[in-house]
Amino acid sequence: MTRRAAIAGWGLAVPEGKLTNADLEARDIGTSDEWIMERTGIRERRMCAPDETTAGLAIAAGNAAIKSAGITPGDLSMVIVATCTPEQPIPETSSFVAEGLGVRCGAFDVGAACAGFSYGLVVAAGLVATGANGPILLVGAENLTRVVDPTERGTAILFGDGAGAAVIASSSGGPDGPGLLSWDMGSDGSAAHLIEITAGGSRQPTTAETVGSGAHWMRMEGSEVFRRAVRVVVESSNAALAKAGLSTADVDWFLPHQANARIVSAAASRLKIPAERCIVNIDRFGNTSAASIPIALAEAADDGRLSDGDIVLSCGFGAGMTWSSAVLRWGRPVGAT
């Protein structure tokens, strides 16, 4: 029988520093608290101090998830880090995270932007199904305030820093037990230009000119991203539910990527999922890309909103453009290995 992957533990780590709407007003970039709230639903975001990095946040969140799962780092068979703001270009951020956790198991990064954690969940589930010899640590971690132009209103108001993590383990709970029930993934490279950092790679290597022109800042076509995001969330969510033999009426909790409160609201409305069944924390953290779903998941698990047997529909979407939906039956693994 195929082994199902379930979430055995969870954790989050966010910087102490905050970037509030009042702070952004003071930058004189043509915005206000009312303007930001109306368009995004964000009141504040967490912001790393100069000595805080993506890997540091990932290690802290990972340790919290390991403790929650009741295991030790040495029990892990793999470390997967989803991020689009890596520690450095080479090596991958997962190398630093594995070292920080004190493990020598396999470690690699997943680069699918805001869909990264969802992509990583499917990859981890595949490893479990094919015989991973121990739990897998999946982390979504970002330091986005380092890659947005602080004077560019369209991006500066959106993005924040943080990390969330989950321990993924096999469950012998059978067809009605906890774990990943189904998933849907996709990408559309023709829309890659909608969210991008053009410089710093092989296409446009770093030069004094690229730095001077601001080509290392993130650029985004917000209105088009909004339009596409709502559509793909609805289509992908319905596809994943259909694979599980479920409908939106069966969903206890909708856990979308926290990109923009208006996107969440529009997608939930089209899916006919009421607001009280949506897990939303964007007002306090902003858009944390690959970290947003695991941060929200950890908060909901810690505060008791998630109960054993609940059907959780999660959907991430982001640069690439990439998207990924997952349907989970909530609960710690039965007979986890």
Q: Which two tokens stand for residue 268?
A: 């939930």
Q: How far apart are CA 285 and CA 311, in angstroms?
A: 25
d(CA 155, CA 90): 26
* Average pLDDT along the chain: 96
pLDDT tens digits along 69-106: 999 999 999 999 999 999 999 999 999 999 999 999 99
Within 10 angstroms of residue 281's Cβ, the number of other Cβ atoms is 14
User: Is the pLDDT assigned to residue 315 strictly greater than 70?
Assistant: yes
207-217: per-residue pLDDT in tens? 999 999 999 99
pLDDT, tens only, 111-123: 999 999 999 999 9
> Please, what are the domains in the chain?
1-337 (3.40.47.10)
Q: What is the pLDDT of residue 2?
A: 63
Reduced to 3 states (helix: H, G, I; strand: E, B; else coil), residue 5 is strand
Answer yes or no: pTM beyond 0.95. yes
Give the catalytic positions in this structure: 114, 257, 287
Do residues 183 and 327 lie in contact, with contact meaning Cβ atoms separated by under 8 Å? yes
User: Token pair 């609940």 is at which residue?
Assistant: 310
Q: How many helices (H) and strands (E) does the chain have?
A: 11, 13
Residue 337, pLDDT score: 47
The pLDDT tens digits of the residues spanning 228-282 come to 999 999 999 999 999 999 999 999 999 999 999 999 999 999 999 999 999 999 9
